[in-house]
Amino acid sequence: MCKFRSRVRPLLGALAVLVLGTTAAVAEGPSATRLVSGLRGATGSTIGPDGALYVTEGAAGRISRVDPKSGAVTTFASGLPTAVLRIGGAIDVAFLDETAYVLVTLVGPDVGGSNVVGIYRIDGPDRFTVIADIGAFSLENPPQTPFFIPTGVQFALETYRGGLLVTDGHHNRLLGVTLDGEISELMAFANIVPTGLAVWGRTVFMAEAGPVPHLPENGRVVAFGSKLPVTTVAAGAPLLVDVEFAPGRTLYALAQGIWNGVSEGSPALPFTGALVQANEDGTFTVILGGLDRPTSLEFIGNTAYVVTLTGEIWKIDGLSR
């Protein structure tokens, strides 16, 4: 587990400046337009080196490229393991040095599958290589918190200092993965359900959904780094699933909403999700509510793109500049 030095107070002011930047108050009336529909098992996303949006479709075993202006969808990569359960398969994607890496989860024998749980490097439209077997690592290194899926439920993938970061929302930990496939536990948490990731410089920002029933007070964004222990940036949104910076260094998060209460791992109730903005006083402001089970957030300029479990991508304009 990483150990951070305790010289925190001088860094907190800088952290507040980083989160809020110099942006003005939220512009009047952010508007949402549906850009894409019909994706299958959409969960994770990233902005590619070409400026397009790339989205995982776990139920279809593919990565789709989406033109952010027209909404045109083309297949970037296919043939990946498909979801065995309600969620899983290709769950997130990231680019490093123009190469795409895909996080694949819930496809191992422990859930009735026969594929490797881990990180896959995309080598071509229908070719890939497993570079890190996270499932095997999890079996050999079980978490300290209670669990019932031995290979874990990995959720987010983020590039960091030439390698990759992975959250495991079931095993409650943050993993570091090198491109050579070396896996290490960077941080272990209590039952906070880590989800989305963002990086600014050497500081990592992480969303926490909080334990079941994912109460708003347990939904928070934290930050940590080599000189900063885990520090709460903002709290108070139900079932947080992602965190991202917009231009101007304003920090936004994505709340999936009120948990539906069916079972552990089940999503929020329809149309209870929201795009929220972190405030200097540690609270969130709802920028746009009524989102239907959102899973992933990206920014291109001052426009937000929200991916949903229902297979849609929503384009949100009118945010602060």
Cβ pair 258, 238 in contact under 8 A: yes
Q: How confident is the model at residue 248 (pLDDT cuts 50, 70, 90)?
A: confident
> Which pLDDT does position 16 carry in this prediction?
53
E strand or H helix that includes residue 233: strand 228-235
- Can you tell me whether residue 68 is helix, strand or coil? coil
* Paired strand residues for 251: 245
Pair of tokens at residue 251: 């920090």
291 domain residue, yes or no: yes
Is 167 in the same domain as 284? no
Is 265 in the same domain as 199? yes
Is 134 in the same domain as 106? yes
Is 121 in the same domain as 10? no
As a whole number, mean pLDDT of residues 224-243 equals 95
Cα-based angle 19, 24, 27 (whole degrees, multiple of 5)? 115
As a whole number, mean pLDDT of residues 39-56 equals 98
User: How does DSSP classify residue 216?
Assistant: G
> Which pLDDT does position 47 carry in this prediction?
98
183 domain residue, yes or no: no
Give Cβ neighbours of residue 270 (< 8 Å, ≥ 6 apart): 292, 293
185 domain residue, yes or no: no
What's the domain count of the chain?
2
Is 48 in the same domain as 173? yes
Q: How confident is the model at residue 246 (pLDDT cuts 50, 70, 90)?
A: very high
Q: How confident is the model at residue 114 (pLDDT cuts 50, 70, 90)?
A: very high
Is 25 in the same domain as 124? no
For the chain, the distance separating the N- and C-terminal CA atoms, rounded to the nearest angstrom, is 38
168 domain residue, yes or no: yes
Is 169 in the same domain as 110? yes
Q: Which residue has the higher pLDDT, 2 or 141?
A: 141
Segment 191-224, tens digit of pLDDT:
999 999 999 999 999 999 999 999 999 999 999 9
What percent of the chain stands above pLDDT 70? 91
Is 57 in the same domain as 143? yes
Segment 274-287, tens digit of pLDDT:
999 999 999 999 99
As a whole number, mean pLDDT of residues 303-308 equals 98
Domain interval for residue 88: 43-153+161-178
Pair of tokens at residue 126: 């229908």
As a whole number, mean pLDDT of residues 24-39 equals 78
104 domain residue, yes or no: yes
Give the mean pLDDT of the chain: 92
Say yes or no to pLDDT of 321 above 80. no
Helices then strands, counting H and E runs in the chain, come out as 2, 24
Is 142 in the same domain as 219? no
**Could you tell me the pTM of the whole model?**
0.92
Q: Which residue has the higher pLDDT, 197 or 20?
A: 197
Q: How confident is the model at residue 28 (pLDDT cuts 50, 70, 90)?
A: low
Is 143 in the same domain as 222? no
How far, in Å, are 5, 202, 302, 318 from residue 14 at the CA level? 16, 13, 23, 27
187 domain residue, yes or no: no
Segment 162-187, tens digit of pLDDT:
999 999 999 999 999 999 999 999 99
Is 5 in the same domain as 30? yes
Q: Which residue has the higher pLDDT, 20 or 271?
A: 271
Assess whether the previous peptide bond of 213 is cis (omega < 30° from 0). Answer: yes
* Spatial distance between the Cα atoms of 152 and 240, rounded to a whole number of angstroms: 19
* Spatial distance between the Cα atoms of 310 and 136, rounded to a whole number of angstroms: 31
* Paired strand residues for 236: none
Tokens 């040095």, located at residue:
97
Residue 19 phi/psi, 5° resolution?
-70, -45
Q: How confident is the model at residue 310 (pLDDT cuts 50, 70, 90)?
A: very high
184 domain residue, yes or no: no
Say yes or no to pLDDT of 15 above 70. no
> Which pLDDT does position 165 carry in this prediction?
98
Q: DSSP letter string over 146-180?
A: --S-TT--EEEEEEETTEEEEEETTTTEEEEE-TT
Is 96 in the same domain as 219? no
